[in-house]
Amino acid sequence: MIKSISADKALEWLIEGNNDYIDAKTNHHGDISHEKRVHLHHHGQNPFAVVICCSDSRVIPENIFMKGLGDLFVIRLAGNVVGDFAMGSIEYAIEHLGIELVLVMGHTQCGAVHAALEGSHDHYIGQITTEIQKAIGRVKNPLKATIRNTYNSVEKIKTSPLLQKDKDRAKIVPALYHTQTGKVEILKNMD
């Protein structure tokens, strides 16, 4: 494990960033102004897409897609592994927010996929790597494993009772984010 800075310094940086955010109008990605926050507070959110992606600090959907407050409903989990709570969040976004697009975005150099390729792990990390191992089967190539894992999450989402009832209710799209170039590649659906 690499320790880059102390917890106290990390907290200080977060608070400094939040103070900057409070006074900001834009972050070059979309509207983050005080006015927008007040509007969303009083009128609720109206995001246009669900983005399911990894917790990796290099994978920030609001930056990758240049969007602001209230634009995206983001679900971030190590390895973009979809379990019960993620599924509930997706169903909420579709049913209660009326979102019709669910983008499942894997990414290159995924640490969770690499951990799954290395073998078994203990504790909760093991639950993630075991799920990824089931998804990738015997694949050993990290990029191919990442793509297979992304497709697995797409297929899992399609098993939602809400989507089983109405298959046309939401479009579920697999994608791959290239961490080196910043490009999002839309993958072909397996259907």
Give the CATH number, domain containing residue 149: 3.40.1050.10
Q: What are phi and psi of 94, to 5 degrees?
A: -75, -50
Helix 142-158 / helix 123-136 crossing angle, nearest 10 deg: 90
Task: Tell me which residue has tokens 């109206």.
Answer: 46
Percentage of the chain modeled with pLDDT above 70: 91
Whether residues 115 and 141 fall in one domain: yes
**Together in a domain, 118 and 165:** yes
84, 81, 86, 85: which is closest to 115 by C-alpha? 81
Q: Are residues 85 and 178 in the same domain?
A: yes
Q: Which of 5-19, 29-43, 115-129 has the lowest mean pLDDT?
A: 5-19
Q: Can you give the residue range of the structural domain that contains 151?
A: 45-186
Is pLDDT at 149 greater than 70 in this prediction? yes
Name the nearest CA neighbour of 50 among 189, 173, 183, 177: 173
The predicted model scores a pTM of: 0.86
Q: How many domains does the chain have?
A: 2
Q: Cα torsion at 99, 100, 106, 112 (round to 10°)?
A: 50
Residue 103 falls inside a structural domain: yes
Three-state SS at 173: strand
Span 81-128, pLDDT tens digits? 999 999 999 999 999 999 999 999 999 999 999 999 998 889 999 999
Same domain, 124 and 73: yes
In a domain, 191, yes or no: no
